[in-house]
Amino acid sequence: MERWQNILADSLRTPKQLEEFFGRPFPKVPYSLLVPLRLAQKIKDQGLEGPLALQFLPQKEEGDHMESGSGLIDPIGDGVHQKGPGIIHRYRSRILVSPTPLCPVECRYCFRKNLLEEDSPNYRASPSSMKRYLHSHPEVNEVIFTGGDPLMLGDSVLDHYLEALGDFAHIRFIRFHSRMPVVIPERITDDLTEMLKETTQKKRARACLVIHINHLSELDGDVLLGLKKLQKAHIDVLAQSVLLRGVNDNISDLYDLFFGLALEGIRPYYLHHPDPVRGGLHFYLPVERGRELYLPLRDILPGHVLPHYVRDDANGTGKTLAVI
């Protein structure tokens, strides 16, 4: 096993483990639990009411939604554009490929929290099924690995996917969307860095990583160490964030997040309006409130540091700007 896989194996996964670690009980919720120890320690240091605790520790509301049947199961309409196991094709030029439904952490607000089961075939594309799809879709110039979290795959498995893409001269961008760099920074191994570097240098497809981060306190020294490796290897690193009630729904936290990322050469790309997902409705806020927070940022952040504020619709029509 690689080191990051051992770290993952040592994570907190049961209510009892959470209770022992944090010294207080947690409500029973009908969703999986997973908190790697490094993150658990950060949560403890920040305090159990902090933005990290809210994102990763279970809350009673999750179960309430299940009972009342409120909230959406598929809030962004993944199902509408599903073209086979793990392949979603909504926009003409790019496809989402999900090689695994697994993640290194269970974000309580996750928009796919009702869809990502460990054995879900809907989020398991194989290299060969991906190849089959691309053979008949020359209009696609970008493959976006998502999940779950694509960096849950080991380096040698990931390499199979990258090798498979090498056959397609029309693929010019290869993108990874991942929570891993802020959760288990050890995942940014030298091998992974080398693989992505090679993709960019030898295969004519530019590799890019979009990290998922919602609060500047997620970006610590260990996280930066991993990301700097990629940046040194000329891999573009961008960030996407979700606006979440109680976590970052104030101007100063959003400002700090985007400004702090940009200072490290990580470009804020999207600010997602939260989805009204079943089990995550307690993070939801109205788009009018989002606009009140976002618009003043234009005045205090350089344009290249301000992400697009977007929302998704449950009918699967895709992202639209939440503010114009």
Ligand X SMILES: *Cc1c(COP(=O)(O)O)cnc(C)c1O
Residue numbers of the site for ligand SF4 (CB under 6 A)? Answer: 103, 106-107, 110, 112, 147-149, 179, 212
Place of tokens 């729904």: 249
Which one of ligand SF4, ligand X, none interacts with residue 107, CB within 5 to 8 A by kind? ligand SF4
- The region of 7-15, 60-68, 85-93, 165-173 touching ligand X under the rule CB under 6 A is 85-93
Phi, psi torsion values for 255, nearest 5 degrees: -60, -50
Residues 6+ away with beta carbon under 8 Å from 66? 30, 278, 279
- The region of 56-64, 84-92, 115-123, 241-249 touching ligand X under the rule CB under 6 A is 84-92
Angle at the Cα of 167 from the Cα atoms of 165 and 169, rounded to 5 degrees: 90
User: Which one, 100 or 200, has the nearer CB to ligand SF4?
Assistant: 100
Q: Which residue is nearest to ligand X (CB)?
A: 90
Q: How many Cα atoms sit within 13 Å of 75 on the Cβ side? A: 22
Which one of ligand SF4, ligand X, none interacts with residue 83, CB within 5 to 8 A by kind? none
Options 38, 42, 65, 90; binder of ligand X; rule CB under 6 A: 90
Strands 173-178 and 206-212: parallel
* Least Cβ distance, residue 69 to ligand SF4 (angstroms): 21
- What's the DSSP call for residue 274? P
Which one of ligand SF4, ligand X, none interacts with residue 207, CB within 5 to 8 A by kind? none
Residues that bind ligand X (rule: CB under 6 A) add up to a total of 8
Report yes or no: 143 and 130 within 8 Å, Cβ to Cβ.
yes
* Least Cβ distance, residue 22 to ligand SF4 (angstroms): 20
Phi, psi torsion values for 225, nearest 5 degrees: -60, -45
Which one of ligand X, ligand SF4, none interacts with residue 110, CB within 5 to 8 A by kind? ligand SF4
Tokens of 60: 């009673």
Strands 267-272 and 236-242: parallel
User: Which one, 179 or 282, has the nearer CB to ligand SF4?
Assistant: 179
User: Which one, 39 or 195, has the nearer CB to ligand SF4?
Assistant: 39
User: What residues are paired with 126 via a beta bridge?
Assistant: none
